[in-house]
Structure 1
């Protein structure tokens, strides 16, 4: 049995003038509270609580803020905020109602402030009907939700988690670990070993890595020039279009990764643990900006949920030395070029090897050697070390959200979220 998390989209249908005004009031108050807590440098929930408690928001929005702002400071080292953040609500914030006899079947209760809520009809992605019905029947767990306005229309994105049966009940000895290396040169690289231990069927998405790098460079260059001309709104609109193109690449590539795994007997996809990747990124200001802004988290999340939907297990390992060690002899080597690994052992048959494939094999080998981490285990370890308790007499308002959204730090773009 495994878990899969999906982002469901609801489009709010023709809210009245009064309800539109209330939605805008909620958005404005949320963004003001977010800016204030971020500017105050709040790096714990208790510190954020002292700021956001004064704003006219529901407890669900305040609690989401108190979780979100410390993450911006502690995990993502953000130095500025986008001015159009969606309103976040914790897992108990929304309520769904289903009236299948009506032309518009779904209704959602959106929190406005502590004593006032808005019931609004909503249309859903028809491909997500089964998920919404599971959520309504309590067969899926509701996570964080996000409210935002785009082109005059209001949307709700809701994360939902449900259990799925594993496709393979193979033992660890019978499994085929497939290493998944995510990078800038090749967007994703996968490889596994055959029964004799030889690396087989490496596949690289190098062309897509190049395409995404080009789009990102275009985005940053155009944004800087447009902002210098005072065209901030045009810059944002142009940026959204480019990020939509990047999202399309991500979705296609991660789907193809899962299709690769489906073609292997008893597969398990092995990813690098993002916790260690974030901690090890210290390559100078320029490279840090590029790598921290790279789509590691989004690619990981999409591979996880798409694999789990098909019943393919996913594991994570510490990425230590996966790019430095030779997959054949274990000696450390060098990277004379971005895509080339050179083994330092003169007696090793490898000599020079494709660097991303070498990394993918090492990732798979870490899992084969018995090192893997489940998400729940990592969450427990992280919580034990976090300073997010209510200290100094501060109190939190409303219930806390215990659900970890697979794409927490990525704003969902596009008409339908998958």
Structure 2
């Protein structure tokens, strides 16, 4: 058994004028409190509480803000805020009710302020029905939830955690580790060693990397022009569309990664550990761009939960030098080009090799060397399981010099 966290998607069904007004009031109060606490540069929950306590919000929203604002001002070094962050509620804030006899089976209670809540009919993602039923039955634990509006429709994203059965009891040493390298040239690269120890059947999603880079560049160019013209609403709508396209690419690629794993006997997917990445980064240009801008954490999380749902175990390893070491001799080499790794050991047979495949093999080898680390630990506050902590995509080193923006609707 392993613990799995997933984001459940619910669409609120045609709220009447009164409920729409209350939802808008909640959103406006949340935005005001968020901006006030952020502008005050609150770095602790106590400082944030002193700011948000005076706003007309439920305690669940205030408590979520007290956790969120210090993350923005310290962990993520955000320089400015997008105008439309989703409204956040702590795990005690929502209640579900299931009425299978009704045409609309599911209802959710959303806090408005401390003395008033809204019961809303909701339409869940049909692929997540079993998760929602587990949550309603108490077999899964509810986490933080987010409320937002997109194109006139209101949505809720609710995180849920439950234990799932993984694997068939195969011991770790008898599994086939598949290294998963997430990058910027090839969006994802996977590879494993065959029974003779040779790297085999690598697969690269390089075209998808190009697609995402193109969409990110389009996003920055177009939205900046629209914002300069004062067309904020058009810019938001345009950004939504591009991020939906990027998310579609992410979902397709991560699904294909899991399908690759299913074709291998007794597989275990091996990813780079986000905790180690955080420990080794100084929030400089490159790592900020990699973790926040590129969607590293979001791809990481999607691969993990899709694999676990298929019964494929996932392990993580320290990513130090996985892109720099030669998988054949262990010598630290270099990359003369983005897609090429060159070994500097004159006695090594490797010479030049595809850089992303080299990284994927090194990641798989970390598992074989016993450096793997299960994801079942408590303090991975940077895992961004649903991508909710990601910021706007950054397209170049020049973009990394600009202030970090935290996006609202896109961050859901």
TM-score by length of 2: 0.90
Deviations along 1:303-360, one digit per CA (max 9) or x if unpaired, are 0100010011111111101011111101110110001000010000000011101111
Give the corresponding residue for 1:392: none
Q: Residues of 2 paired with 1:61 and 1:332: CA distance?
A: 49
Report SS of the residue matched to 1:348: coil
Q: 8 Å contact 1:31–1:85 — kept in the other structure?
A: yes
Residues in 1 aligned to 2:319 and 2:313: alpha-carbon distance in whole angstroms = 19
Distance 1:412 1:310 in 2: 31
The residue number in structure 2 matching 1:99 is 99
Question: 1:129 is matched with which residue?
Answer: 129
Distance 1:152 1:235 in 2: 16
The equivalent of 1:323 in structure 2 is 323
Bigger drift between 280-289 and 189-198 goes to 280-289
Cα distance per residue 1:96-136 (max 9 Å; x no partner): 11111112211111111112111122222222222211111
- Residues of 1 paired with 2:378 and 2:58: CA distance? 30
Task: Report the CA distance between 1:280 and its aligned residue.
Answer: 4.1
In the alignment, structure 1 residue 229 sits paired with structure 2 residue 229: yes
1:284–1:17 CA distance, 2 compared to 1 (3 A) = closer
The SS at the match of 1:208 is: helix
State the partner residue of 1:215.
215
Q: Offset of 1:407 from its aligned partner? A: 3.2
Number of the residue aligned with 1:349: 349
| Partner of residue 407, structure 1 | 387
Contact 1:326-1:358 within 8 A present in 2 as well: yes
2:179 equivalent in structure 1: 179
Q: Distance in 2 between matches of 1:167 and 1:45?
A: 40
The Cα shift of 1:85 comes to 0.8
Q: Within the alignment, does 1:258 sit opposite 2:258 as a pair?
A: yes
User: How far apart are the structure 2 equivalents of 1:292 and 1:156?
Assistant: 23
Aligned-partner SS, 2:172: coil
Shift of 1:181: 0.4
Deviation at 1:375, TM superposition (A): 3.1
Q: How many residues align?
A: 395
Q: Is the 8 A contact 2:258 2:307 kept in 1?
A: yes
1:158-177 correspondence to structure 2 within 5 Å: 158-177=158-177
Paired residues of 1:168 and 1:312 also in contact (CA < 8 A): no
In structure 2, the residue matched to 1:116 is 116
Secondary structure, aligned partner of 1:370: coil
Q: Which residue of 2 aligns with 1:375?
A: 375
Q: Distance in 1 between matches of 2:389 and 2:256?
A: 24
**TM superposition shift of 1:253:** 0.3
Residues 55-110 of structure 1, C-alpha deviations (whole Å, 9 max, x = no match): 11111111111111122223322111111111011111100111111122111111
Shift of 1:281: 4.8
How far the C-alpha of 1:6 sits from its partner, in A, is 2.2
Moved more, 247-256 or 157-166: 157-166
SS of the equivalent of 2:78 reads: coil
Give the structure 2 partner of residue 77 of structure 1: 77
CA contact (8 A) 2:273 2:316 kept: yes
Structure 1 alignment gaps of length 5 or more:
384-402
SS of 1:189's equivalent in the other structure is: strand
1:354-397 CA deviation, whole Å, 9 max, x = no partner? 110111111111111111223343618x79xxxxxxxxxxxxxx
The answer to whether 1:29 aligns with 2:9 is no
Structure 2 equivalent of residue 301 of structure 1: 301
Distance in 2 (alpha carbons) for counterparts of 1:283 and 1:116:
41
C-alpha contact 1:143 1:404 (8 A) present in aligned 2: no
71-80 or 218-227, larger mean C-alpha shift: 71-80
TM norm structure 1: 0.89
Q: 1:271-308: per-residue Cα shift (whole Å, max 9, x none)?
A: 11123334545696488446631110110010010001
Kept after mapping to 2: 8 A contact 1:2/1:311: no
Does structure 2 conserve the Cα–Cα contact (< 8 Å) formed by 1:146 and 1:157? yes
Q: Which residues in structure 2 correspond to 1:234-253 (within 5 Å)?
A: 234-253=234-253
Q: 1:291 to 1:123 in 2, by over 3 A?
A: closer
Alpha-carbon distance in structure 2 between the residues aligned to 1:187 and 1:285: 19
**Residues 192 and 412 of structure 1, relative CA distance in 2, 3 Å threshold:** farther
- C-alpha distance after superposition, 1:165-222 (max 9, x if no partner): 1123111110111110000000000111112211111111111111111110111111
